């Protein structure tokens, strides 16, 4: 639908007679009654050859007419006169040869611009300048897809404009409680969580090491070009410790938590390390020990890397993998206790249908 152009303070006289589709224009209206100031001719007001305009005619015989026409610099004139309303039941009036022609905004133009400017489709202009709208654009609440295990292909739903993706790698497993003679095992490393192969990557946290030392480090995270947001390395687990006089109560280190929470506590004397919460990506706690020695409890595991990203122009599909939990380390025979397993990863996809 062609939208008429508008101009300020544009009005001209005309001496055309009859109901023909062409109106020959004369001069800009001067400052004579009923006008208290002069008008511009259409060309001076900025209208160019071939543009569609909205016109209003006041005839000296008391009739009026408004509609659309095409401005021509030849004459100058308005051609293709198409009335939208008039004192002649909406049809063209018979011009007397003494009329004023103005450019003005019509109610039909305003409705047309609303339809064209808001993305509404199926607009049908009706009497009175109202419009019947079919298939309007309606705000749609975001939807969610939550991936908690395994790998596969995510398909972007139809109509989605952008995605928010939050994800975490698998947490490592806590180490088993050791003794001075050893025998405990390390916790397993958590699996990597990916979305779109290496497009978004949240790597798993390291498992706790048996036999003491620093806490296990967290997994790294990265965003590729096409995504914006934050990529945080996971926190490190706590080292094991020991205390006591004649009897030692050797404590396992706590596993690191993530923005989803869930870190496992280290085991106390005679206790296993706690497992991290499923799908938190947190680290498992190290196992405790009970022995008359200075051997510390198992080291707590690192958390998986964390991502909170926006994908402004999503692809139709993405391959994904959810990082598995790191396995728990086993305690030394006799007085060592097992660590806790890590929390598996997760991918939370928030699908937005409106900008």
Q: Is 124 domain-assigned?
A: no
Share of the chain above pLDDT 90, in %: 59
Tell whether 49 and 190 lie within a shared domain: no
Clarify whether residues 226 and 347 are in a common domain.
yes
The 10 Å Cβ neighbour count of residue 89 is 7
Q: Do 150 and 61 have their domain in common?
A: no
- Residue 347, pLDDT > 80, answer yes
Instruction: Let me know if residue 275 belongs to a domain.
Output: yes
Residue where the block lists tokens 């709208």: 133
What's the farthest any 2 CA atoms get from each other in the chain?
121
The rounded mean pLDDT for the chain is: 86
Residues 98 and 144 in one domain: no
Asked whether residue 152 falls in the same domain as residue 18, the answer is no
If 0-12 CB within 10 Å is exposed, 13-18 middle and 19+ buried, where does residue 121 land? exposed
Which of 105, 130, 160 delimits the end of a domain? 105
Q: What is the pLDDT of residues 129-176, one digit of tens each?
A: 445 555 555 678 999 999 999 999 999 999 999 999 999 999 999 999
- Separation CA 248–CA 240 (nearest Å): 13
At residue 19 the predicted structure's pLDDT band, cuts being 50, 70 and 90, is confident
Higher local confidence (pLDDT), 118 or 214: 214
Pick the last residue of a domain from 51, 86, 105: 105
Give me 209's structure tokens.
Answer: 């090491």
**Based on the structure, what is the number of domains in the chain?**
2
Do the beta carbons of residue 93 and residue 86 sit within 8 Å?
yes
Handedness of CA 231, 147, 320, 155 (dihedral sign): negative
Are both 201 and 350 inside the same structural domain? yes
Q: Is residue 31 part of a domain?
A: yes
- Whether the model clears a pTM of 0.75, i.e. scores above it, the answer is no
- H/E element, 124: strand 121-125
Q: Considering 60, 83, 105, which residue would you say is the last residue of a domain?
A: 105
112 is a domain residue: no
Residues 35, 184: one domain?
A: no
Residues 313, 219, single domain; the answer is yes
Q: Which token pair is 259?
A: 């923005």
Q: Are residues 154 and 225 in the same domain?
A: yes
Q: Please identify which residue in the block is written with the tokens 């308005």.
A: 78
Q: Are 160 and 278 members of one domain?
A: yes
Same-domain status, 208 and 330? yes
Judge if 145 and 96 occupy the same domain.
no
DSSP per-residue string spanning 224-257: -TT-EEEEEPPPPPPPPB--BSSSB-BBPPPPPP
The residues with which 11 forms a beta bridge, in sequence order, are 102
β-bridge partners, 5: 53
Is 131 a member of any domain?
Answer: no
**129 domain residue, yes or no:** no
Between residues 212 and 88, which one has the greater pLDDT? 88
Is the residue at 176 inside a domain?
yes
What pLDDT does 138 receive?
67
Residue 220 · residue 293 · CB < 8 Å: no
In a domain, 3, yes or no: no
Q: Domain of 75?
A: 11-105
């Amino acid at each position: 639908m062609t939208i008429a152009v508008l101009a300020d303070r544009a009005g001209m006289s005309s001496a055309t007679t009859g109901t023909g589709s062409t109106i020959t224009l004369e001069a800009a209206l001067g400052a004579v009654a009923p006008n208290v100031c002069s008008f511009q001719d259409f060309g001076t007001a900025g209208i160019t050859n071939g543009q569609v305009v909205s016109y209003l005619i006041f005839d000296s015989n008391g009739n009026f007419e408004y509609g659309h026409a095409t401005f021509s610099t030849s004459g100058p004139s308005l051609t293709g006169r198409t009335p939208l309303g008039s004192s002649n039941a909406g049809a063209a009036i018979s011009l007397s040869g003494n009329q004023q022609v103005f450019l003005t905004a019509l109610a039909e133009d305003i409705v047309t611009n609303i339809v064209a400017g808001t993305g509404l489709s199926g607009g049908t202009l009706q009497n009175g300048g109202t419009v019947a709208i079919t298939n309007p654009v309606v705000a749609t609440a975001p939807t969610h897809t939550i991936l908690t295990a395994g790998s596969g292909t995510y398909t972007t739903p139809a109509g989605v404009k952008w995605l928010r993706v939050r994800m975490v790698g698998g947490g490592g497993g806590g180490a088993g409680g050791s003794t001075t003679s050893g025998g405990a095992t390390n916790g397993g490393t958590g699996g990597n969580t990916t979305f779109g192969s290496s497009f978004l990557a949240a790597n798993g946290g390291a498992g706790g090491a048996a036999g003491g030392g620093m806490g296990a480090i967290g997994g790294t995270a990265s965003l590729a070009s096409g995504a914006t947001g934050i990529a945080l390395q996971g926190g490190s687990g706590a080292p094991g410790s020991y205390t006591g006089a004649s009897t030692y109560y050797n404590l396992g280190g706590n596993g690191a938590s993530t923005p989803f929470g869930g870190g496992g506590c280290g085991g106390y004397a005679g206790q296993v390390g706690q497992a991290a919460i499923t799908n938190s990506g947190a680290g498992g706690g190290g196992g405790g020990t009970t022995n008359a020695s200075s051997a510390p409890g198992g080291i707590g595991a690192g958390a998986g890397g964390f991502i909170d990203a926006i994908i402004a122009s999503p692809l139709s599909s993405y391959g994904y993998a959810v990082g598995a939990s790191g396995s728990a380390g086993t305690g030394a025979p006799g007085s060592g206790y097992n660590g806790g397993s890590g929390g598996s990863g997760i991918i939370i996809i928030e699908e937005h249908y409106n900008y």
